[in-house]
Amino acid sequence: MRPAAVRPGRGEKSAMRLKRASFLTKIVVLVLLIYMATSLLDLRGKIQGVQDQRDTLAQQVTDQQLKNQQLEDAIENSDDPAMLEQVARDRGFVKQGEELYIDVAN
């Protein structure tokens, strides 16, 4: 007797069938995706905050360098008569014979 002929389509089809993901697996994957998306947005916000802080500090460094340069110039010109006169005028001193007017409107 000859063995019964097996149709090639049916036997292969059942062996090739993929196992479907369960509902619980789909929920877990969805939760992980949501968590990753919120974490990414949170990190992006932190990065933006740190970049703003960096920009602020860079501006402070620039301002301080300008002040330092002004102080260095003042030290170098401390013996200059014009510089001494300017410092005296900034402190409210006047030359003999000059009158000092103070604006009280401001």
- Please write the tens of the pLDDT for every residue from 88-105: 888 888 888 888 788 888
* 31-42 as b/e: b if 16+ CB within 10 A: eeeeeeeeeeee
Per-residue pLDDT tens over the stretch 30-52: 999 999 999 999 999 999 999 99
Q: What is the pLDDT of residue 76?
A: 86
Which position has the token pair 């905050």? 49
Distance CA 4, CA 82 (A): 118
Name the pLDDT band for 64 (thresholds 50, 70, 90).
very high
Backbone angles phi, psi at 20, to 5 degrees: -75, 145
Name the pLDDT band for 74 (thresholds 50, 70, 90).
confident
Enumerate the domain spans of the chain.
24-90
